Amino acid sequence: MLEKIKNILETSFVFVDEVVRIFALAFTSKKNIIIFGPGGHAKSEMTKAVIDGLNLDSDTFYQFFGEGMDESRLFGGLNFKKLEEDKILEYYPEKSFLNSRIAVFEELFDAPASVLLALKDVLTAKELRNGSQRFKMRTELIICLTNKEPQEISGLGPAAHALIERFPLQLNLKWKDYSASSYLKMFEKVAGRLNGPILNGFKAVLAEILAKATAEGNFVSPRTAVHSFQICQTAATLRGGEKVEKQDLTDLRFLPGLEGLAETISKDLETAMERAAAEKNLSLAETKFGELLNESRVNATSPIKLLQVAKKLVALNDEISSLKVTDGLSDRRKKLRDTVSEKTSETQKLALENTRI
């Protein structure tokens, strides 16, 4: 089950380890779960993907809760004929979540307290008890998706607090951080599925701009980040371009949290582009170092070839020292430079020892 869900989610989503784990636990143990957190993190999309991927869609009931929610809607609708002819209030539970193995509740805790209380009673009894009407609950698992946190929900009153206890598995679905690298990782994942002009190096630039906006208090959700990617593509299409260019990013000002971008776009773009270029050059240097490490291992018994590797390492260190990097990359460059120097000394020493042998 764990591997199945992992394969399903890793195809289209990033940072899914915790989501994979809680879904595997829920579907295996049949324990109800609450997945909560800020909007725009694909709670619904991931849930639907897992259900479809496990071939459970035909036996899953989706219910959206809100201000208009009442007990009648919760339990399949009111039997008006029974009410008119016999003056008895009954529902159609066979048309409700009670008749499905899986139930997905969207924004459950937006419902009135009376609905939450009724649901809590049904979950406790494992059946609908409405006067003489009885209906055994088929539901094995309920997945609740909400923007509200459990503590906030418990504060809604006793009914909500009691209902929370029926959902023993809970996950705050948010990213570990909203750095440029996090946004970039998502772009790399979704780029192949979004048709349109390619962003090339501007993916890193866009990621940098979104991370900066979030750090300054204008939170950019993953969903909005994908919208920003698509807006850049559309802007390029409107001017007839096959690739996204610098000017296409100015339309990001129409997205929530990025309204002020028009005034600072040139400066922010230059900064982001400098960092992206520095990141790329530093990554290339790290790749070169990895190749030289492998070359030294392959030629570990050849003094001449080891000295040739050492010479290349010295040249690489000079190259790294001359790299222009932004403040956030200075420590990374220093660490790489120190590591290369250390490996240079080791390689020269090993070449000398082999010569003596």
Tens place of pLDDT per residue across the chain (357 aa): 999 999 999 999 999 999 999 999 999 999 999 999 999 999 999 999 999 999 999 999 999 997 789 999 999 999 898 888 888 899 999 999 999 999 999 999 888 888 999 999 999 999 999 989 999 999 999 999 999 888 888 777 787 888 899 999 999 999 999 999 999 999 998 887 888 898 877 888 889 889 988 998 889 999 999 999 999 999 999 999 999 988 888 888 888 777 766 566 666 667 776 777 788 888 899 999 999 999 888 888 888 888 898 899 999 999 998 888 777 788 888 999 999 999 999 988 888 887 765
Q: Within a domain: residue 304? A: yes
- Please state the domain count of the chain: 3
Say whether both 95 and 74 belong to one domain: yes
241 & 282 share domain: no
Based on the domain organization, do 194 and 216 belong to the same domain? yes
Collapsed DSSP state (helix, strand, coil) of residue 168:
coil
**Where a domain ends, among 112, 141, 172?**
172
Q: What is the tally of helices (H) and strands (E) in the chain? A: 14, 7
Of 153, 143, 146, 54, the C-alpha closest to 104 is: 143
Q: Are residues 163 and 187 in the same domain?
A: no
Residues 154, 174 contacting (CB under 8 angstroms): no
Q: Is residue 200 part of a domain?
A: yes
Q: pTM score, two decimals? A: 0.74
Residues 123 and 224 in one domain: no
Range of the domain at 231: 180-259
Of the residues 172, 192, 219, which one is the last residue of a structural domain? 172
Establish if 125 belongs to a structural domain. Answer: yes
Q: Is residue 148 part of a domain?
A: yes
**280/292 Cα distance (integer angstroms):** 19
We report the CATH number of the domain holding residue 240 as: 1.10.8
Same-domain check for residues 167 and 52: yes
Q: Does some domain include residue 264?
A: no
Judge whether 159 lies within some domain.
yes
Neighbours of 255 (CB within 10 A): 18
166 and 187 inside one domain: no
Q: Is 270 within a domain?
A: no
CATH number at residue 16: 3.40.50.300
Whether 271 is in a domain gets the answer no
